[in-house]
A and B are shown apart, each in its own frame.
Chain A
Amino acid sequence: MAQTTTASTEHPAEAHGNFPPFDSHSFGNQLLWLALAFGALYVLMSKVALPRVAAILEERHNRVADDLAQAAKLKSETDAAIEAYEKALADAKAKAQAIAGETRDKLAAETDARRRALEADLHVKLAEAERQIVDGKTKAMGNVRGIAVDTALAIVERLVGKTPSADEVDAAVGRALPASQVQ
């Protein structure tokens, strides 16, 4: 209501149906208030408000950067731990394999030695047995000659009726028997 009255009182004094935005009478007043208002705004923003926002954003940025750096550090530590663990595991595996191989070799060597000893033992026994066989054979062949002499002596005595001398028969048997068979 006050609006219309002031507007109408203003009307005859300043503008005769003038378009208000182009009414140059009001320019000075508007410029002054604009300068005051915008100047105050600029000072408040540049000196107070914006530095505060910038500080907050800066702090957050630093915090995030710190956290990221710490995360990266922790990750590298974890990686190192994993690497150490894997190395230890590989070492343990290698060691286990070495022990297993060593044991296997030792056992194989032991078995080999025992086998060899057994073989040598068996060889000795075999040789002895062979020798015994040869002895038995020789002895048996000796007996064969005695029997041949006795038999020849008895046969000649029955046929001829006369007893030959033992040496003669022995010599005859010796001639008749091939040398190899006597041996």
Chain B
Amino acid sequence: MAEKIDPIHQFQLVKIGQPLFHIGGTEVVLTQSSLYMIGAVALITIVMLMGTAGRSLVPGRLQSLVEVMYEFVASTVRSSAGHDGMKFFPLVFSLFMFVLVLNLAGMMPYGFTVTSHIIITAALAVLVILTVIIYGFMKHGLRFLGLFAPSGMHPVMLVILVPIEVISFISRPISLSVRLFANMLAGHIALKIFAGFVVTLLGAGLWGIISPLPLALAVALTALEFLVAVLQAYVFATLTSIYLHDALHPGH
């Protein structure tokens, strides 16, 4: 019984087949996580290509979906990173779609949530912050460091402000990755626990009478989790755009 409602079990990686090969000490093996990622990439690509296959002036349903996604992410990038931020549009779009599809895939019954593993969200956040740093130095050279020193400040103030700015910059990838990971993880654990209550109560004789309570909560949480799944993808894309804005315009 206790094994059945273990809320952590759903995050266990499952190996599929034998290890393909080894790189150093790491064995490379197909897991359900990698299958979900490959599936997400395939799904996004198929929808994007099928939606644009008609190239019709008046879009059909699939083309409308693709165009809405495009315009949505494009407007997010434009408003947060500015017009010159559109050179990062493919990156933000890929991140948004990848996170969105993986978040939503985790909402399937028996589904696995790839974004509930911090290594995935951390890798994506590091990718974003590396893009900011590398592009910032490439475009502005050492002036990019002006990001940490607000202009027009008294030198004494800078002594206090620069460390604060540096810490806030460093905390960006951490908050970016932990926010997504924690939301996904906590939501799925909560869902599992409440669903487990239903099962436990039903199996506990008279207590079964109050089992609809956690069921109602589980239903409400499911709706909330759908919202969180979409919202977190949007938040990830928006924050990415805001950070990229710093790479483009490091001055305060």
Tell me the A residues contacting B by CB distance below 8 Å: 2-3, 6-7, 10, 19-23, 26-35, 37-38, 40-42, 44-46, 48-50, 52-57, 59-60, 63
Neighbouring A residues of B55 by C-beta, 8 Å: 52, 55-56, 59
Q: A42 and B26: CB pair below 8 A? A: no
Contact residues of A: prevailing secondary structure: helix
Contact of B165 with A by CB under 8 A: no
Considering only CB atoms, which chain B residue lies closest to A24 in the complex?
Answer: B119
Q: A29 and B27: CB pair below 8 A? A: yes
Q: A20 and B13: CB pair below 8 A? A: yes
Neighbouring A residues of B29 by C-beta, 8 Å: 29
19 contacts between A and B (CB under 8 A): A6-B14, A7-B14, A10-B13, A10-B15, A19-B8, A20-B8, A22-B118, A30-B31, A30-B33, A33-B33, A34-B37, A34-B119, A41-B40, A45-B90, A46-B90, A50-B89, A50-B90, A52-B55, A63-B57
- Known contacts being A21-B118, A50-B70, A63-B57, is A45 close to B94, with CB within 8 Å? yes
Partner of B45, one of A30, A35, A44, A46: A44
Contact of B23 with A by CB under 8 A: yes
Tell me the B residues contacting A by CB distance below 8 Å: 8-9, 11-15, 23-24, 26-31, 33-34, 37-38, 40-41, 44-45, 48-49, 51-52, 55, 57, 59, 63, 66-67, 70-71, 89-91, 93-94, 97-98, 116-120, 123-124, 127, 181, 185
- Known contacts being A21-B11, A41-B97, is A27 close to B119, with CB within 8 Å? yes
Q: A31 and B93: CB pair below 8 A? A: no
Neighbouring A residues of B127 by C-beta, 8 Å: 38
Q: B52 and A49: CB pair below 8 A? A: yes
Residue of B52, B63, B123, B127 with most partner-chain A CB within 10 A: B52
Q: B98 and A41: CB pair below 8 A? A: yes
Rounded to whole angstroms, the CA-CA distance of A19 and B11 in the bound complex is 8
Rounded to whole angstroms, the CA-CA distance of A38 and B45 in the bound complex is 12
